[in-house]
Every structure is written in C-alpha cells, then in structure tokens.
C-alpha cells in the first residue's frame, strides 16, 4: 500500500549512534518519538533517548531509576523460569512488568529542520520521583499563551500515566506531577483555549470493558482535567483495530481541528491517520481517515528495535505543509511532509 507522506530523502535523520549515552556503561538503543516546537528562531526536537547496557546472550539487563534519581541496573538470567521476555519493549519478572530500556528526553535544535545538534547549556530531562522510575517518554510540546506545556508518559511499577512540566525558557521547568493517572498516555494539549478552557486528547486504557481509545478532556488550568469524553475508538478489521492514540497538538484549520493520530493492530503494526474535530466543540468528530495517511514501508520503518512502526508526536506547520518528525521502528528519528489539502482529500472533506 502506498501513502501520502513525503519522506525526507535524508532519513533517518537521527539514529542511536548520533548521540552519546547519558552514563558510562549504557548504550542508546533507540532514539525516537520527539516532541517538536519552535523557539529562538529554530526548530527543536525533544527526543526520547532509550538506553540500556550492552546485552549479553545469557542475561537481560536494563536500568531503572531510584526514587531519588540514581540509576540502577537490573540483571535477570534469560533462563530464569520467572522471566517472560517476548516483547522487545517490556519484560515480566516474578509478576512485575519492567521496560527493557530507560528513557530520558533531550533537546536538539536545527536551522533547516534536517540537521539537528545538541545545543550547549540545556539539560537533559530525566524521570523524577516514584512515578517515573522506569523513565519518561514520547513528550508532546504545546505552546500556549507564551508557555510550553510538556506532556509525557511517566512509567513506574505503579503504572503508565501522563506527567507534565512547563517552561518558558527551556532551562527552568515547573513540574505539575502526574496529571492523568494510569493507565493513560498520548496526551496532547490544544494550542488554544476554547471558551476559556484548556482541552486535551489523551488515551486511557480500559482492560476489561472498553479498550485503547482517544478521549477528550477539559481543564480550567491545564493541570486538573475533567468532563472526559471518549471520541475515537478502534475499528475492527482496520489498520487501527487494537489501539489508537493522539499525536501532537491538534492543528487549527478552517475545516476544524486536524489531529494526526497513530493506530495499531493486534500484531503491533503502527500507521498514521487523521481526524477532523469541530472547532467549537472538539468532541464532535467531523471526519476520520478510512485509509491511513502513512504506513511503515521503508526499510528503516520495517526493521529495527521494534519493526513495522511509524509513530509521531511532533510536527511543525507552514501554510499547506505539515512536517512531522516520527519514530521509525522505535529506533530512529525521521521526517516527512504532508500537504494539508491531501489530508483533507484522504478525509473526504
């Protein structure tokens, strides 16, 4: 199947080897899923850096953070009967789930949107406290009324939830702690208030009844969320049959709020699609992609740390052109552009 994404010929733009590990003894396994924003006349990525020790043939080892921020390495013999290691991303040991890598976030910037470098004077963002001991991931960056809102996945043995920090200068951050409790992720705050309220998309998961659906919520302050509504569900037999989740902040267009979202099958193939939400009441879904707008097709999307994945949580918009930055096979950062008009055509609007 073809898609309507125009991939950068320079892809992958960034790979694990592009950066140095945060700590001796660790290796960057994946560089993926950047939040994207403009600041100081440059294009910035807040990229997820997933690390672990070099793996041996007999032991699985991965870092975790202590509650006061120290890195510890867990080591489990691969032949231990209490170990279940069938997914590259998670292991289960003695009934507890762990991630195989520990993620932090790093700032990169660029003048042309293609070549990125780590600027001096900016710190890495690490998980902090008891709810982020397995790291922080997949940050969305929303610029609203002069402030940047960072919403990311915070992972610990207590579960997977949405953490938030805010900044105006990218050097000092204020933490709002966990704003949406487990199981919840993929939180993207709208870049404008509607009728004086903040809005966000998020993806709680319901294990018994329900599923992995996209929800909409409102807030008076961006921290306390309520009036949750389930607006986008998975579709049986479709490319988004098992999981759907929001990408970056919705894009305001004359036809509605345009959201690029990811959809996955039970076999973990991740594609991208679009939805259009009503401008005044975003709980109203005007249109939704029947066919995906982007499908893993390139070698760097099909094979890697976790193959058959295109996943985005960051973009910049310039007229008709949406440039997305995306994680390919959970291992590299790539870029692609879409024409807004072509997305509208895909949506039938």
Q: Which residues of this protein are in contact with ligand MAN, per CB under 6 A?
A: 89-90, 99, 137, 153, 155, 160, 185
Q: Nearer to ligand MAN by C-beta: 102 or 107?
A: 102
- Cβ(288)–Cβ(246) below 8 Å: no
For ligand MAN, the nearest residue by Cβ is 89
Burial class (CB in 10 A: 0-12, 13-18, 19+), 275: buried
CB of 55 to ligand MAN, least distance (A): 17
Whole-number minimum distance, CB 125 to ligand MAN, in Å? Answer: 16
Q: Where are the beta strands (DSSP E) in 66-197?
A: 71-77, 83-84, 90-93, 96-99, 102-110, 135-144, 147-156, 159-167, 174-180, 184-189
Distance of closest approach, residue 349 Cβ to ligand MAN, in angstroms: 30
Cβ distance to ligand MAN smaller for residue 99 or 258: 99
Complex with ligand MAN: residue 31 or 276, whichever CB lies closer: 31
- Short-list 219, 228, 275, 221, CA closest to 247: 275
Contact (CB, 8 A) for 143 and 158: no
Beta carbon of residue 78, minimum distance to ligand MAN (angstroms, whole number): 20
Contact 220, 197 (CB under 8 A): yes
Q: Which residues of 177-192 are buried (b: 16+ CB within 10 A; e: fewer)?
A: ebbbebebbbbbbbbe
Q: Which is nearer to ligand MAN, 4 or 162 (CB)?
A: 162
CB of 167 to ligand MAN, least distance (A): 22
- Taking the complex as a whole, the smallest distance from the CB of residue 170 to ligand MAN amounts, in Å, to 24
φ, ψ at 119 (rounded to 5°): -75, 155
Which residue lies nearer to ligand MAN by CB, 190 or 306? 306
- The C-alpha atoms of residue 32 and residue 340 are separated, in whole angstroms, by 24
Return the number of the residue (150 or 160) whose C-beta is nearest ligand MAN.
160
């Amino acid at each position: 199947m073809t898609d309507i994404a125009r991939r950068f010929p320079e892809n992958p733009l960034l790979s694990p080897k592009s950066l140095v590990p945060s700590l001796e003894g660790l290796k960057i396994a994946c560089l993926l899923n950047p939040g994207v924003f403009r600041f100081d006349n440059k294009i910035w990525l807040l990229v997820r850096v997933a690390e672990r020790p070099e793996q041996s043939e007999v032991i699985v080892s991965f870092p975790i953070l202590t509650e006061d921020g120290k890195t510890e390495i867990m080591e489990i013999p691969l032949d231990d009967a209490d170990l279940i290691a069938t997914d590259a991303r998670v292991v289960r040991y003695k009934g507890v789930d762990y991630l195989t890598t520990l993620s932090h976030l790093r700032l990169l910037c660029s003048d042309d949107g293609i070549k990125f470098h780590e600027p001096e004077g900016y710190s890495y963002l690490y998980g902090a406290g008891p709810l982020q001991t397995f790291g922080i991931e997949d940050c969305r960056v929303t610029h609203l009324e002069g402030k940047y809102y960072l919403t990311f996945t915070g992972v610990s043995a207590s579960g997977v939830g949405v953490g938030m920090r805010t900044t105006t200068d990218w050097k000092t951050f204020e933490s709002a702690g966990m704003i949406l409790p487990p199981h919840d992720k993929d939180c993207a705050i709208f870049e404008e208030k509607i009728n004086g309220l903040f809005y966000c998309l998020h993806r709680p998961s319901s294990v018994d009844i329900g599923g992995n659906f996209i929800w909409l919520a409102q807030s008076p302050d961006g921290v306390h969320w309520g009036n949750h509504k389930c607006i986008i569900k998975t579709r049986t037999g479709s490319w988004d049959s098992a999981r759907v989740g929001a990408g970056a902040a919705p894009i305001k267009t004359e036809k509605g709020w345009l959201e690029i979202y990811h959809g996955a099958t039970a076999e973990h193939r991740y594609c991208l699609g679009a939805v259009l939400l009503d401008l005044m009441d975003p709980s109203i879904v005007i249109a939704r992609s029947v066919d995906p707008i982007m499908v893993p097709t390139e070698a760097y999307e099909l094979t890697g740390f976790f193959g058959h994945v295109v996943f985005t949580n960051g973009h910049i918009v310039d007229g008709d052109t949406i440039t997305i930055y995306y994680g390919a096979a959970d291992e590299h950062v790539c870029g692609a552009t879409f024409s807004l008009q072509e997305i509208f055509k895909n949506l039938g609007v």
